[in-house]
Amino acid sequence: MEKVVILGTGPAGLTAAIYLARANMNPVVIEGAEPGGQLSLTTEVENFPGFIDGVMGPELIDNMRKQAEKFGAVFKNGWVTDVDVSKRPFTLEVSGIGQLQTQALIISTGASAKMLNIPGEKENVGRGVSTCATCDGFFFRGKKVVIVGGGDSAMEEANFLSKFASEVEIVHRRDELRASKIMQDRAKENEKITWNLNKTPVEVVSEDNKVKGLVVKDNQTGKEELVETDGLFIAIGHNPNTEFLKGKLKTDDVGYIDVVPGTTETNVLGVFACGDVQDNKYRQAITAAGTGCMAALDVERYLEGNAAQDWSISLGGRADK
Ligand code: NAP
């Protein structure tokens, strides 16, 4: 049986792994379906403290992982398909690994890109539709691309894509952007970026198995038009990765895990949550790392407090706080 298993390898899970490995807790880290999480799909991170000239997201993640390994964290390749947190020890079904049992569990499975859910979108993923500019931008060298979204992600991806594409058109459903001022300004100063505001995406059109354009509806006139493009990048936010926990832990309506305010404790004693999977407000690499640290400290205290317990005893839910 493991002392503690960490699910996910974004900044939250990796920070928890660093702290727990340094505390000789021998954490086992399950990498998840998208190792490294969103940071591994991003480009330059300019606001993570300690990097005066910024740092590339994948490099930051790689360094955190090496730091955790240096202190003895064990990484396992796979993802959890089912959990039983109704009795101790907790049981996890992990693809490619089998069953694991653990005294404490940290859930840091992050969040995944939202889709528009319009006709033509899903079937054209990989044929011109993408949710990851870093992964797929290179394929659009010298071509036109469209980005949907008005938040920081859309601005960041537009700037990144402008290094490859001949033109980057931002389609947003309102005439006001949600992005922070600094990110908006940077996109507005970029000559390759054009704007198509107050438009709702209606359908992705393809020809010969390749994206040809995006049909958008003008929110004022109701008129539809085809915006021709070679590539369509969706940057409209994320959903928490908690499908496998449905009905087992308390979440909000969207699926973000509920934690006791100021802690990483979930409604099940011994199960902790950190990072974007429990945060629909801040969603930053540094806040994820911060809550990862909190989860590690919460686990340490929890395991110390339960050191003398017989782990085969079923304790049910957490006592109310
Ligand atoms: P976000 O802030 O939630 O923005 C999502 C955008 O997509 C909004 O403009 C929204 O429109 C639009 N949208 C949502 N659903 C849509 C739909 N079905 N159809 C059309 N448009 C839709 O998400 P985000 O940009 O991914 O940012 C998430 C968090 O990460 C934020 O806290 C952000 O600050 C942070 N972030 C920071 C950086 C950075 O600092 N370098 C980079 C990326 C992200 P409305 O505006 O109309 O709602």
Percent of the chain with pLDDT over 70: 95
| Cα of 88 from ligand 1 centre, angstroms | 39
Domains 2-112+238-305 and 115-234 share a fold: yes
Domain ranges (residues) in the chain = 2-112+238-305, 115-234
Task: Determine how β-strand 129-130 pairs with β-strand 144-148.
Answer: unpaired
**Exposure of 277 in the CB half-sphere (CA atoms within 13 A):** 32
- In this prediction, residue 306 carries a pLDDT of 76
Question: Who wins on pLDDT, 44 or 214?
Answer: 214
Catalytic (active site) residue 274: no
Residue 190 near residue 218, CB atoms below 8 Å: no
The rounded percent of the chain whose pLDDT value lies above 90 is 82
Question: Is the minimum distance from the CB of 237 to ligand 1 under 6 angstroms?
Answer: yes
Whose C-alpha lies nearest to ligand 1, atom 28? Answer: 237
User: What is the pLDDT at residue 39?
Assistant: 85
Write down the catalytic residue from 136, 230, 279, 298. 136
Q: Which residue has the CA at smallest separation from atom 4 of ligand 1? A: 151
Q: Catalytic: 135? A: yes
Distance 245 CA to ligand 1 centre (A): 25
Q: Is the pLDDT of residue 233 over 70?
A: yes
* Region 307-320 average pLDDT: 45
Q: What is the pLDDT of residue 112?
A: 87
259-296 pLDDT, tens digit per residue, is: 999 999 999 999 999 999 999 888 889 999 999 999 99
Mean pLDDT of the chain: 92
Task: Please write the tens of the pLDDT for every residue from 189-223.
Answer: 999 999 999 999 999 999 999 999 999 999 999 99
Q: Is 158 in the pocket of ligand 1 (CB under 6 A)?
A: no
Contact status, residue 236 vs residue 116, Cβ threshold 8 Å? yes
Residue 258 bears catalytic tag:
no
Residues 1-21: tens digit of each pLDDT? 999 999 999 999 999 999 999
Q: Model confidence over 103-160: pLDDT tens digits?
A: 999 999 999 889 999 999 999 988 999 988 877 888 899 999 999 999 999 999 999 9
Task: Tell me the three state secondary structure of residue 227.
Answer: strand
Which run of H or E residues covers position 303? helix 285-305
Q: Which architecture does CATH list for 2-112+238-305? A: 3-Layer(bba) Sandwich (3.50)
Atom of ligand 1 nearest to the CA of 281: 32
Q: Give the pLDDT score at 37.
A: 85
pLDDT bin (cut points 50, 70, 90) of residue 317 is very low
- Residue 300 to residue 103: CA distance in whole angstroms: 11
Q: Which residue has the higher pLDDT, 116 or 319?
A: 116
Classify domain 115-234 at the CATH class level. alpha beta
